[in-house]
Amino acid sequence: MNPKFEELYQKCYKDLTENLLPWWMTYGVDEQYGGWWGAVDYDNKPVEGHSKFITLAARLVWTFASAYRILGDEKYKDMAKRAYDFLLEHFYDKKNGGWYSRVDYKGDVIDDHKYIYGNAFAIYGLSEYNRAFGDREALRLAIETRDLLEKYDYDAEFKGFYESCTADWKVAPWIKGMNRSPFDVKTMNTHLHLLEAYTCLCRVDDSMKTRNSLRQQLYVMLNKIVNQDIHHYYYFQKRDWTPTTNEISYGHDIEGSWLMMETVEVLDEPECERAARDICVNIAKACYETGRREDGGMLSEFEPNTGKVSPYISWWEQNEGVVGFVNLWEETGDEKYLDAALGVYDCIDKLLIDHEKGGWFSMLSYDGSKPWLPNKQDDGVCPYHNARMCFEVIERYRKHQAKGE
């Protein structure tokens, strides 16, 4: 085993099992109203009255189902069921299908629109729940959600998906999704997370329908969303895929570089690998060359017109940087990328892990000296990116062990 990868594995395993997951099971759980708190601050106190969002709810299903599948501890099974039951009871639209966007702190629906990004995470969480526990209802709901998205939200002319729908599945551009405005009709972010959701679904439903949907989503990413001239994603686009901005999101770029290769692995089709591998490697190399901070961490966003970078450090870009650079090391064999992964993790350990009160900070000022986002748990702040980083390192470590490397 490469000693540097051994070091990364040990660090990830320790934080996952001794800090990250225990924090969420200790401070994140809402024993009063069910599920998890909508937000928890940096003092580990719940934010009273904060609503609960589909993204957090669905990602918690995925996280604890994955934790049980990979680590095998019954306490993670209990947490996964808690998350799954709350998602079904409070977010599922029993009349129209799909998943509401927001409930209040008690679990009553306060926003019934269909946020496509959030519905993608419902597919992701439900598919992983089935993968971990063999739950047939979870798989049925994942497939049902996929079919509803493709029936009502899919753009048959230009391909891809719109950002939002009403409760009864009418496309609603003035209801904000991941877009900045209704004129950003399609977004990289929504399509990237639909790709990971479809990939997870294909692991448990290897039907022709699911494979075709996944393959098409991969080619939309490769052919419509990747700017192959500069090896970055387009961030926001019109309906016909004309870009509406030239901003760069390094976190999404490095995340997508390994998620697309994960899709290739699951499809296991030589033509998909030929189409994707060089593109994914080039995106990750571009992030290595221009997307890292002075301390080895990952930059967030970059505006080419002004040369400005985001004035904060965010937890999730660091997590994706670790996995993306490990993946690049595995694809190329060049150890400098493994060094880069360790460099990102060192930045995480120094700035983002709360060694005093436990858990992780979410967003801090660029130098890490003060909060940028005040919560450790929030609408999208959850143990998905950081737990997944640890899961990926653990599973890749086991694969290297099995090969005797």
Quick one: pLDDT at residue 94? 98
Task: Find the domain containing 367 and state its range.
Answer: 3-402
Quick one: pLDDT at residue 19? 98
Quick one: pLDDT at residue 404? 85
Residues of the chain with pLDDT under 50: none
Quick one: pLDDT at residue 367? 96
Distances from the Cα of 391 to the Cαs of 128, 137, 319, 339, 344, in angstroms?
13, 25, 11, 19, 16
Quick one: pLDDT at residue 174? 87
3-state secondary structure the chain: CCHHHHHHHHHHHHHHHHHHHHHHHHCCECCCCCCECCCEECCCCECCCCCEEHHHHHHHHHHHHHHHHHHCCHHHHHHHHHHHHHHHHHHECCCCCCECCEECCCCCEEECCEEHHHHHHHHHHHHHHHHHHCCHHHHHHHHHHHHHHHHHHECCCCCCECCEECCCCCECCCCCCCCCCCCCCEEHHHHHHHHHHHHHHHHHCCCHHHHHHHHHHHHHHHHHHEECCCCEECCEECCCCCECCCCEEHHHHHHHHHHHHHHHHHHCCHHHHHHHHHHHHHHHHHHHHHCECCCCCECCEEECCCCEECCEEEHHHHHHHHHHHHHHHHHHCCHHHHHHHHHHHHHHHHHHECCCCCCECCEEECCCCCEEECEEECCCCCCCHHHHHHHHHHHHHHHHHHCCC
Structural domain count of the chain: 1
Quick one: pLDDT at residue 181? 86
Instruction: Give the strand order in the sheet containing 248-249.
Output: 248-249, 301-303, 308-309
Nearest to 65 by CA among 54, 48, 55, 78: 78
CATH number of the domain within which 38 lies:
1.50.10.10
